[in-house]
Amino acid sequence: MTRFSGKVALVTGSSNGIGRATAVLLAQEGAKVTITGRNADRLEETRQEILKSGVPEDHVLSIATDLATEKGQDELVNSTIQKFGRLDILVNNAGAAFNDDQGRVGVDQDVSVYDRIMQINMRSVVTLTQKAKEHLVKAKGEVVNVSSIGAGPQAQPTFMYYAMSKAALDQYTRSAAIDLIQYGVRVNSVSPGAVVTGFGEAMGMPADMHEKYGHFMESRKECIPCGKMGQPIDIANIIAFLADRKLSSYIIGQSIVADGGSTLVMGMQAHNFMDLLKQ
Ligand code: NDP
């Protein structure tokens, strides 16, 4: 018996990055998983990665669909119930950031960018959770949302709409947690810092630029004090912990920050005070 034996998990955004690592981990630990994303090829890569680790084929349901549509969300919940008969764990992981196509920044970014970001990062979480609720209540299940340290309290003028969507998600996590705990359903979230995934590419960033960004961040203690970018499995392990009632049953409505220390440093603290006095 593994820790998620008999459980069924739906992991959004599992065709890449953090969601893929999470789906693989939950499946390896016994869960039946529904994996999803729009990109059918990448989704198949996730499925193959799961099967490679010895998970039986009938433990994986693969659905290529657009999560930003309610039709796609209905398909996810209905097909999961049809195939597996229950839903214990909902991981609201899918997310994205978009640039203004005319390069506008700060408050001048077009409101269509705001709409697109809120649609996938926040609205889809609200409606998918509504659709999954009756099944999660039946199973006394768990919801784990994937937020971001971008939610604040620091300002994020470059990616302000993305940051706003994650700040909204944090409030949703807290409020939904108190609403749903009356039915025995727990809601928590994880707030990653900089993690090596397809996120940059999805924003249109070429691979070498994304690598350059990673090296810059890793090499500066005021950016990532632990000196390395996060890997998807670092976050997947926390999602599995929050989905594991035996380990985390008393954690309700919280977000666990996993960022290599990034949010603990202020620019002024990054400089050595004693060195400054000697100058
Ligand atoms: P990836 O781009 O690697 O993965 C994003 C996933 O979301 C993909 O599987 C993508 O699938 C899916 N997705 C995006 N839009 C849609 C859509 N409309 N319909 C269905 N699926 C969609 O990025 P990450 O793994 O980094 O992102 C996962 C989560 O982690 C996001 O919520 C992100 O905000 C958060 N996060 C990431 C950080 C990082 O540094 N990487 C830092 C903090 C938070 P497909 O393209 O196939 O549709």
Query: Can you give the residue ranges of every domain in the chain?
Result: 8-204+231-262
What's the gap in Å between 80 CA and the centre of ligand 1?
Answer: 21
Both tokens of 213, joined, read 């960004």
ipTM metric:
0.99
Catalytic residue among 162, 172, 183, 250: 162
CATH class (in words) of the domain with range 8-204+231-262: alpha beta
Active site residue 162: yes
Q: How many angstroms separate the most distant Cα atoms in the chain?
A: 70
From CA 114, how far away is CA 133, in angstroms rounded? 27
Whether the CB of 16 sits within 6 Å of ligand 1: yes
What's the gap in Å between 47 CA and the centre of ligand 1?
Answer: 17
What's the gap in Å between 274 CA and the centre of ligand 1?
Answer: 42
Q: Has residue 277 got a pLDDT over 90? A: no
Whether the CB of 195 sits within 6 Å of ligand 1: yes
Our mutation pick for probing the ligand 1 site, out of 11, 18, 75, 148, counting the most ligand atoms within 8 A of Cβ, is 18
Whether the CB of 192 sits within 6 Å of ligand 1: yes
- Protein residue closest via CA to atom 23 of ligand 1: 199
Our mutation pick for probing the ligand 1 site, out of 93, 217, 239, counting the most ligand atoms within 8 A of Cβ, is 93
Which pLDDT score, from 0 to 100, does residue 266 have?
83
pLDDT in tens, 113-125: 999 999 999 999 9
H or E element, residue 167? helix 160-180
Which pLDDT score, from 0 to 100, does residue 233 have?
98
Using the atom order of ligand 1, give the atom closest to the CA of residue 121. 32
Which pLDDT score, from 0 to 100, does residue 136 have?
98
Nearest to 162 by CA among 127, 200, 217: 200
CA distances from 227 to 137, 191, 260, 262, 266 (A): 42, 18, 8, 10, 16
**Residue percentage of the chain with pLDDT more than 70:** 100
Query: Which of 1-5, 99-103, 126-130 holds the top average pLDDT?
Result: 126-130
Which pLDDT score, from 0 to 100, does residue 269 have?
77
Q: What is the mean pLDDT of residues 254-267?
A: 94
Both tokens of 207, joined, read 């691979």
Letter for the amino acid at 164? M
pLDDT in tens, 1-40: 799 999 999 999 999 999 999 999 999 999 999 999 999 9
Q: Has residue 70 got a pLDDT over 80? A: yes
Q: Has residue 273 got a pLDDT over 80? A: no
Q: What is the mean pLDDT of residues 182-211?
A: 94
